[in-house]
């Protein structure tokens, strides 16, 4: 079969894939010129959202749109697993899994393109996406990045073509995010030239491992490497699990099926344990740590801590992948919910005959447009993360600092985007009422499948703690080499700033500057510079405050240092989240600079402002308590958000159309136009009924008429009596 990667881009009617100006856009622009209302260039915006690897995303979407890859609802978990494993073979046949592997074994060394294509697979079935991620993004990637050319030649071809289905056996029942503390051991025996892999107790079983219950023939097992009586920390080992013919575990290896889960039931997650299992010395994936025949350990990285983080850092693509997949799921949900809200009518508040379109209600706009703004911000930030990832893994920018930046950025954005996807799917589900709860409209199914995204490839809270530690390290580094005078001036400046903010002097200054004017107060916070200042100040102040509280912790006894850190953990994580939100806002703002069409730029600026002001509104208590905003300006935040909702409303459908998803991607009955057909039919029925003169009389109208007639009769009687 012809590889999909070699095919030309497929023609489509999707606006995001047809960048030429359409007659509809020309008409919209002409209307906009007359009315002074901006128009969105949907095609150009769609192209910008597709990003650097637009062609690969189109190819992946074309593949994800095929019925044979779609999730079939209602299957048992056993049937779903069988279907998904068969779908992996379709991905192989269409060249959708080879991009990131070395050219020497048939790959293309295209790391960013590979992840871009992978992120779109959530459209077909999240189970398929994650099953593919386990096979090629974790198992295959571990062999690729932690192994040598010898390992590549030996195992990667079979991994790539699915002859060797495999597992990524890192997590243990007793240790999830704390990988450094896993208890499985791999002890070298120089007498036989073998490693002995062993599970010392129940908590050390490998758990939640994709492909472990049924399909995995091999695994990359993470264990504590022990040789000559020294534990050199966590390393990765290639291990055969099952007999390829019988599919039975090999001697010394056992396991269990994790069974039915809350979602992703197309993946056979399971548990593994090992009893004195011997594997060849050469099965150590030894790019960063090697054991010679006599048991001598060596590594190109002398520091055990740095070596550990370097090895785990090579596997950061899982977080990069989930970040983009979560953004994709948010886009799918918003396209469906906003399409439905633009057609569904409920309650005749402003007309005696016609009901209101849901999307015209302010609260509905608040629910959907704020999440639409966040999704755009997350999308632009995700593209920046992907480019950073590609720069590092291609070798173009691969310094220690680049890798640390990549790890921090991936941790920050993966946490925010996966939480946002779950929130968006739930809100969109509720916004569509009972229809949203039907499996045919996918909200409930997608949310169940994406639920675990918040805790795998790094628990989100733990990831934000990692980000916070990096922020603290950068804060400390800033003052490591400065002289006393500089540090003293900084401390005085901080104290002065705190005095100004917390005594209300800044609030007074803002009120005087605004002269009590709501318009001036709104202008001060809606400007790009004003938003940037508020968002940046919050991050800087939070980091500085925690940094000051933790100063000298490294000199305390371990127990006291841990207690001090723990007492500020919540503030640390909040600072990290504020930092991640700032990164998304900056990415959105940077993307605005790349928009050529004036109308599109105006609408996107409103959307960016909605994102920024929503962040400020969410944290309004902090800005007030810390004196960053006056009460006058604080009051205008919500008012200006409401004004932005009105401005964005006419462009809502354009903004979700730019995502570029067709019916084969959405697969939601309420996003097909069926609701509009029903509503139009109902309105026409009642219109004809009223026109016929035979419409039944509403009881309330009858009562009102009777009351008026009684009042008139009563007036006549009174007049007659007076006469």
Residues catalogued as catalytic: 457
What end-to-end distance do the CA atoms of the chain give, in Å?
Answer: 103
Residue 357 forms beta bridges with which residues? Answer: 345
Task: Enter the tokens of residue 600.
Answer: 């599109």
CA distance 10 to 179: 44
| 595 Cβ contact list (under 8 Å, min separation 6) | 44, 45, 48, 601, 604
For tokens 């990831």, the residue is: 463
**Helix or strand or coil: residue 231?**
strand
397 CB burial (10 A radius; 0-12, 13-18, 19+)? middle
CA distance 382 to 76: 34
Contact between 487 and 578 under an 8 Å Cβ cutoff? The reply is no
CA distance 631 to 472: 31
- CA dist 99 to 4, 141, 723, Å? 11, 11, 101
E strand segments, 248-359: 253-257, 270-274, 277-280, 290-291, 297-298
CA distance 332 to 390: 25
**Helix or strand or coil: residue 203?**
helix
For tokens 């025996």, the residue is: 189
Query: What HEC string does 327-369 produce?
Result: HHHHHHHHHHHHHHHCCCECCCCCCCCCCCEHHHCHHHHHHHH
Contact between 214 and 175 under an 8 Å Cβ cutoff? The reply is no
Task: Enter the tokens of residue 515.
Answer: 């002269």
CA distance 20 to 12: 13
| 583 Cβ contact list (under 8 Å, min separation 6) | 381, 409, 412, 413
CA distance 692 to 698: 15
18 CB burial (10 A radius; 0-12, 13-18, 19+)? middle
Closest CA to 617 of 632, 638, 601: 638
HSE value, Cβ hemisphere, 13 Å, CA-based, for 340 = 24
Contact between 59 and 91 under an 8 Å Cβ cutoff? The reply is no
| 433 Cβ contact list (under 8 Å, min separation 6) | none
| 98 Cβ contact list (under 8 Å, min separation 6) | 3, 5, 106, 107, 108, 160
For tokens 């002001």, the residue is: 613
Closest CA to 255 of 180, 202, 302, 293: 202
**Helix or strand or coil: residue 576?**
helix
Task: Enter the tokens of residue 340.
Answer: 């439905």
Q: Phi/psi of residue 220, each to 5°? A: -95, 115
Task: Enter the tokens of residue 585.
Answer: 């806002």
Query: 190-194 long-range contacts, Cβ below 8 Å, gap at least 24?
Result: 190/293, 190/294, 190/295, 192/278, 193/280, 193/281, 193/293, 194/278, 194/279, 194/280, 194/281
CA distance 240 to 257: 18
């Amino acid at each position: 079969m012809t590889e999909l990667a070699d095919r030309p881009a497929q023609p489509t009617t999707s606006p995001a894939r047809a960048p030429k100006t359409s007659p509809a856009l020309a008409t919209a622009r002409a209307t906009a010129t007359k009315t002074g209302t901006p128009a969105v260039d949907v095609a150009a915006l769609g192209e910008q959202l597709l990003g650097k690897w637009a062609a690969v995303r189109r190819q992946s979407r074309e593949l994800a749109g095929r019925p044979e890859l779609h999730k079939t609802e209602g299957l048992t978990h056993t049937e779903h697993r069988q279907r998904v494993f068969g779908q992996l073979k379709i991905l192989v046949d269409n060249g959708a899994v080879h991009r990131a592997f070395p050219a020497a074994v048939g790959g293309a060394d295209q790391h960013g393109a590979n992840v871009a294509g992978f992120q779109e697979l959530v459209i077909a079935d999240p189970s398929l996406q994650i099953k593919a991620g386990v096979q090629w993004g974790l198992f295959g990637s571990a062999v690729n990045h932690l192994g040598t050319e010898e390992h590549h030649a030996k195992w990667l071809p079979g991994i790539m073509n699915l002859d060797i289905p495999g597992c990524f056996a890192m997590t243990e029942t007793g240790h999830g995010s704390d990988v450094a503390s896993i208890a499985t051991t791999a002890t070298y025996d120089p007498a036989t030239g073998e490693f002995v892999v062993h599970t010392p107790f129940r908590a050390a079983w490998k758990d939640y491992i994709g492909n472990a219950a049924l399909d995995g023939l091999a695994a990359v097992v993470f264990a504590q490497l022990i040789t000559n009586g020294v534990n050199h920390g966590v390393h990765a080992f290639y291990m055969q699990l099952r007999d390829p013919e019988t599919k039975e575990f090999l001697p010394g290896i056992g396991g269990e099926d994790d069974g039915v889960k809350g979602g992703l039931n197309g993946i056979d997650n399971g548990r593994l344990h090992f009893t004195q299992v011997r594997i060849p010395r050469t099965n150590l994936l030894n790019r960063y740590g090697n054991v010679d025949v006599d048991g001598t350990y060596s590594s190109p990285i002398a520091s055990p801590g740095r070596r550990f983080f370097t090895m785990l850092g090579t596997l950061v693509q899982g977080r990069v992948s989930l970040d983009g997949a979560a953004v994709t799921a948010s886009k799918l949900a918003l396209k469906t919910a906003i399409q439905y809200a633009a057609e569904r009518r409920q309650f005749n508040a402003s007309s005696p005959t016609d009901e209101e379109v849901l999307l015209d209600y302010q609260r509905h706009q608040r629910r959907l447009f704020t999440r639409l703004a966040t999704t755009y911000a997350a999308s632009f930030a995700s593209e920046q993360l992907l480019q950073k990832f590609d720069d590092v893994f291609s070798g173009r920018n691969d310094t220690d600092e680049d890798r640390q930046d990549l790890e921090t950025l991936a941790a920050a954005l993966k946490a925010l985007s996966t939480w946002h996807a779950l929130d968006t799917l739930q809100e969109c589900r509720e916004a569509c009422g009972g229809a949203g709860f039907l499996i045919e409209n996918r909200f409930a199914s997608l949310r169940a499948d994406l639920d675990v995204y918040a805790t795998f490839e790094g628990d989100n809270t733990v990831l934000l703690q990692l980000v916070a530690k990096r922020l603290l390290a950068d804060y400390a580094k800033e003052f490591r080499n400065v002289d006393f005078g500089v540090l003293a001036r900084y401390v005085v400046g901080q104290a002065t700033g705190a005095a100004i903010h917390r005594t209300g002097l800044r609030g007074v200054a803002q009120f005087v500057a605004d002269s009590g004017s709501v318009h001036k107060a709104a202008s001060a916070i809606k400007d790009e510079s004003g938003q940037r200042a508020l968002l940046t100040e919050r991050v800087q102040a939070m980091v500085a405050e925690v940094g000051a509280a933790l100063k000298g912790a490294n000199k305390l006894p371990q127990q006291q240092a841990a207690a001090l850190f723990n007492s500020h953990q919540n503030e640390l994580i909040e600072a990290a989240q504020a930092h991640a939100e700032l990164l998304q806002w900056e990415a959105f703002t940077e993307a605005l600079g790349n928009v050529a069409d004036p109308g599109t730029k105006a609408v996107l600026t409103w959307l960016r402002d909605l994102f920024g002001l929503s962040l400020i509104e969410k944290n309004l208590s902090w800005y007030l308590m810390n004196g960053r905003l006056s009460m006058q300006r604080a009051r205008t935040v919500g008012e200006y958000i409401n004004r932005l909702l009105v401005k964005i409303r006419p462009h809502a459908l354009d903004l979700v159309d730019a995502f570029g998803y067709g019916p084969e991607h959405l697969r939601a009955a309420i996003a097909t136009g069926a609701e509009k057909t029903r509503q139009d039919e109902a309105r026409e029925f009642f219109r004809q009924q009223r026109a016929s003169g035979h419409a039944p009389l509403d009881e309330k109208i009858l009562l009102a008429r009777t009351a008026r007639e009684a009042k008139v009769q009563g007036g006549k009687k009174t007049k007659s009596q007076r006469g």
